[in-house]
Amino acid sequence: MSSTLRLMGATALCLTGFAAAPALAQNTAVTFGTNWVAQAEHGGYYQAVADGTYAKCGLDVTIVPGGPQVNNRAMMIAGQIDFSMGGSTLDGFSAVQEGLPIVTVASSFQKDPQVIVTWPGVAKSFADLAKLDKVLISDGGVLTFWAWMIQAYGFKPEQREVYTFSAAPLIANKTWGMQGYLSSEPYFFEKETGVKPDAWLIADAGYSAYSTTIETMADNIAKRPEVVQCFVDGSAIGWTNYLYGDNSAANAMIKKDNPEMTDEAIAYGIQSMKDNGIVFSGDALTMGAGAMTDAKVEDFYKKMVAVGAVPDGLDWKASYTLQFVNKGVGLDLKPAE
């Protein structure tokens, strides 16, 4: 796998206007670290590199893929990269709690892609999942979405079995459920069994976290707001073009950075994001990709306080800024639905 992917020039394409911001000197170099290996869920950023969107407002962007041995957030704190991909709203809360000057400047995913996977027909609604014999949940999910599921839907702590990132227990037990990522576990379950599973999106059940956020250091916002604005706008346009335009060049770059990625898996990921409104739903339909609102962050904060995932009284508003989003950037490129 290559460690970086650089754009050295712009491709002449029809691109929407950017939000008003001071002009940048051409080829201002910035780096963006993702939180996992290259995949369709990073496609909007690769698209903005591939089609010259970032370059249009003066940025020469390097994408640094994440992975099991890579901590791009730590690299950003150390000043080695300019932006990093956060997992969810919770990452912003944890930064405030730990006293880290990290600020979320956009949220590419309006919905957290976390799902509960079941055999087809086992349940008729998310609430029905509380009747499953067992649910495979990782240690990382116990204090967050699993705790919320217990409180909001009456799941029982004793229903939990440890998820070790293997679908074998679910395949062997048709009355169980399993946590997963929308475009990953359902895809591999179907490949293994030949059966299309049901995938219950916890966001649609009320788990209101943003996901795949763009983070940067507070100092970067203070000293280079025009760079932040360009990167946020370029990412919004990139996501719109990736989902609704020609994404072939971006996908080629994804496969270069992650040779294990296949065209089939990428296509599955793109369709899953479109079908479930991961990028475009709610506020993003009128405010553009990357949209955030105080109301939604506060709603999620209150839910996490209620389950003890974050402390009451946390300065949650310090975890993000709306300065760079909600300007409708890229919406003119999105087809009417």
Predicted confidence at residue 10, as pLDDT, reads 31
Angle made by CA atoms 114, 117, 118, in degrees to the nearest 5: 160
Q: What's the CA gap between 92 and 320, in Å, rounded?
A: 7
Q: Within 61-217, where are the H helices?
A: 72-77, 89-97, 147-153, 168-172, 185-193
Positive or negative, the CA dihedral 120, 122, 123, 124 is positive
Secondary structure element (H or E) that encloses residue 266, with its range: helix 263-275
Q: Given this model, what pLDDT does residue 50 score? A: 98
Please check whether residue 233 is in contact with residue 291, taking contact to mean a CB–CB distance below 8 angstroms: no
Q: Rounded CA gap, 138 and 95, in Å?
A: 22
**108, 290 in Cβ contact below 8 A?**
yes
Token couple for 166: 């293997």
DSSP of 216-258: EEHHHHHH-HHHHHHHHHHHHHHHHHHHHS--HHHHHHHHHH-
CB 237 within 8 A of CB 53: yes
- Which residues lie below 8 Å from residue 158, measured CB to CB, with a gap of 6+? none
Rounded to an integer, what distance in angstroms lies between the CA atom of residue 89 and that of residue 299?
Answer: 11
Q: And the tokens for 247?
A: 């994404």
User: For residue 11, what pLDDT is reported?
Assistant: 33
CA neighbours closer than 13 Å in the CB half-sphere of residue 317:
4
pLDDT, tens digit only, all 337 positions of the chain? 333 333 333 333 334 566 655 557 678 999 999 999 999 999 999 999 999 999 999 999 999 999 988 999 999 999 999 999 999 999 999 999 999 999 999 999 999 999 999 999 999 999 999 999 999 999 999 999 999 999 999 999 999 999 999 999 999 999 999 999 999 999 999 999 999 999 999 999 999 999 999 999 999 999 999 999 999 999 999 999 999 999 999 999 999 999 999 999 999 999 999 999 999 999 999 999 999 999 999 999 999 999 999 999 999 999 999 999 999 999 999 998 7
DSSP single-letter state for residue 110:
S
Burial of 91 (0-12, 13-18, 19+ CB in 10 A): buried
Q: Residue 298: in which H helix or E strand, if any?
A: helix 294-306
Give the CA-trace dihedral at 112, 114, 118, 120, to 10 degrees. Answer: 30
Residue with tokens 């062997």: 172
Residues in the chain: 337
Tell me how far apart the alpha carbons of residues 297 and 91 are, in angstroms, rounded to a whole number.
Answer: 12
One-letter amino acid for residue 136 of the chain? L
CA atoms within 13 A on the CB side of 35: 13
Residue 251 CB burial class (10 angstroms; 0-12, 13-18, ≥19)? buried
- Cα torsion 271, 275, 279, 280: sign: positive
